[in-house]
């Protein structure tokens, strides 16, 4: 069990996070089942992008439309914490719907993966094992 991700996707998200700092980078995770096959970087349209993120709604709706049309599944979201702490913040918990989607968080060299639901950290995030393949 666990969620799989490729080394190249991780490297890509790390590069995007470094480039966005001191703002949070964010984007979507696409794939099938528990396999992250692709990531996109989206505009962080939050009014305070240094401490939280809000994915450009147009990009989100486009991904959901693609999924309905038979494309890749929107598995979840990723974002960075320029502070270097890779665990979900209380703000993240307040933003997250308990919809079973994945939350991948990058903080410095650390990467964590969570599933949004009921229970767990902040009563919202249950940690998943991220397998780099």
Sites of contact with Zn ion (CB under 5 A): 89, 92
Q: Decide whether 32 or 48 has the Cβ nearer to Zn ion.
A: 48
Q: Which residue is nearest to Zn ion (CB)?
A: 92
Q: Decide whether 32 or 94 has the Cβ nearer to Zn ion.
A: 94
The distance of closest approach from Cβ of residue 8 to Zn ion in the complex, given in angstroms and rounded to an integer, is 23
The distance of closest approach from Cβ of residue 87 to Zn ion in the complex, given in angstroms and rounded to an integer, is 9
Residues in the chain: 133
Q: Decide whether 21 or 67 has the Cβ nearer to Zn ion.
A: 21
Report in angstroms the alpha-carbon separations of 105 from 57, 66, 123: 19, 24, 17
CB 29 within 8 A of CB 76: yes
The string over 85-94, giving b where at least 16 C-beta atoms fall within 10 Å of a residue's C-beta and e elsewhere, is ebebeeebbe
The distance of closest approach from Cβ of residue 71 to Zn ion in the complex, given in angstroms and rounded to an integer, is 27
């Amino acid at each position: 069990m666990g969620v799989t991700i490729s080394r190249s996707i991780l490297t890509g998200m790390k590069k995007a996070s470094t480039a966005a700092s001191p703002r949070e980078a964010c984007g979507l995770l696409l794939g099938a089942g528990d396999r992250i096959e692709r990531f996109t970087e989206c505009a962080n349209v939050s009014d305070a992008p240094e401490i939280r993120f809000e994915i450009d709604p147009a990009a989100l709706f486009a991904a959901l439309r693609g999924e309905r049309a038979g494309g890749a599944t929107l598995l979840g979201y990723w974002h960075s914490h320029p502070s270097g702490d890779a665990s979900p913040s209380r703000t993240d918990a307040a933003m997250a719907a308990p919809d079973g989607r994945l939350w991948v968080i990058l903080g410095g060299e650390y990467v964590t993966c969570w599933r949004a639901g009921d229970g767990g950290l902040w009563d919202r995030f249950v940690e998943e094992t991220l397998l780099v393949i």
